[in-house]
């Protein structure tokens, strides 16, 4: 008997609907944000790519719903939504990829393993941004060390300017605090290596993720791993959309043109 989730489920928002697309990219946004986080990517990707973003309850257009405070439930919901989408709207040539940034990268990683375990599928490429490798201190450690310092540290972690309006403060910080709870009670698992190629992204001055450790993600797959580092901190991606999309495009096309032998 399947256990019913106590939370509303993940939803997918089709940012594009390109008939000529050959590659589908599922995008998982960082803490406190919704699918709108990836809107700047629409113009940056060519017509070869179809972009589908995840919307979780409690954020963005779903801010009126209760936030998920359990990473396992969130990752399972994302995996189920992607699996259903793959069944109902199979991508051209069967090629798809998953990208996540920060907290979204952790969700993307765990959702990918659940796709493999529960649905017998995994992406041709998994792209992870601003998240430590599993053998290193995680985002939960940074939260645990700094959450007690208050709003100023939360603002720094999120890469936002501190809101001055009380209602806006509640809208902005409630989903982040829910994600903080999810991180603090999360138990990391030793997952078997994936077959998917990995692309790993990070900021050279990220206080939460040692950029020199990113290559250690290669232990998480039996396929190739590419690492890309950019100037900036934890939210380097916000100001370098074109540069990140360019590198990600190259990795996606390489994987598309030369599928991994054991895929």
pLDDT digits (tens, 9 = 90+) for 33-71: 899 999 999 999 999 999 999 999 988 889 888 888 899
Phi, psi values for residue 48, rounded to 5°: -75, -15
pLDDT in tens, 208-243: 899 999 999 999 999 999 999 999 998 899 999 999
Per-residue confidence (pLDDT) for residue 1, from 0 to 100: 36
Per-residue confidence (pLDDT) for residue 19, from 0 to 100: 83
b/e code 66-99 from CB counts within 10 Å (16+ = b): ebbbbbebbbbbbbbbbbebbeeeebeeebbbbb
Given a cut of 80, is residue 110 above it in pLDDT?
yes
Confidence class for position 144, pLDDT limits 50, 70, 90: confident
| Furthest C-alpha separation in the chain | 54
Per-residue confidence (pLDDT) for residue 244, from 0 to 100: 97
pLDDT in tens, 157-203: 656 666 666 766 677 778 888 888 888 888 888 899 999 999 999 99
Average pLDDT over residues 11-22: 93
C-beta separation of 109 from 100 below 8 A? yes
Given a cut of 50, is residue 254 above it in pLDDT?
yes
Per-residue confidence (pLDDT) for residue 148, from 0 to 100: 67
């Amino acid at each position: 008997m399947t256990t019913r989730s106590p939370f509303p489920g993940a939803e997918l928002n089709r940012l594009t609907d390109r008939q000529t697309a050959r590659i589908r990219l599922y995008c998982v946004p960082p803490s406190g944000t919704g699918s709108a986080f990836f809107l700047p990517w629409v113009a940056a990707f060519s017509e070869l790519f179809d972009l589908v973003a995840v919307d979780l309850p409690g954020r963005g257009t779903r801010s009126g719903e209760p936030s998920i405070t359990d990473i396992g439930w969130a990752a399972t919901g994302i995996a189920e939504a992607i699996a259903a989408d793959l069944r109902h709207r199979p991508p051209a040539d069967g090629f798809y990829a998953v990208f996540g940034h920060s907290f979204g990268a952790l969700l993307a990683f765990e959702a990918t393993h659940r796709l493999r375990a529960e649905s017998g599928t995994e992406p041709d490429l998994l792209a992870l941004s601003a998240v430590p490798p599993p053998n290193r201190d995680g985002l939960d450690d940074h939260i645990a060390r700094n959450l007690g310092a208050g709003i100023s540290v939360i603002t720094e972690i999120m890469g936002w300017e501190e809101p001055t309006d009380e209602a806006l403060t509640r809208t902005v910080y409630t989903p982040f605090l829910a994600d903080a709870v999810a991180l603090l009670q999360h138990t990391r698992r030793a997952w078997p290596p994936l077959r998917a190629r990995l692309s790993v992204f990070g900021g050279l001055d990220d206080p939460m993720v040692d950029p020199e450790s990113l290559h250690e993600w290669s232990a998480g797959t039996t396929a190739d791993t590419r690492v890309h580092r950019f100037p900036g901190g934890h939210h380097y991606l916000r100001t370098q959309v074109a540069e990140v999309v360019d590198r990600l495009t190259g990795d996606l096309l390489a994987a598309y043109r030369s599928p991994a032998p054991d895929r």
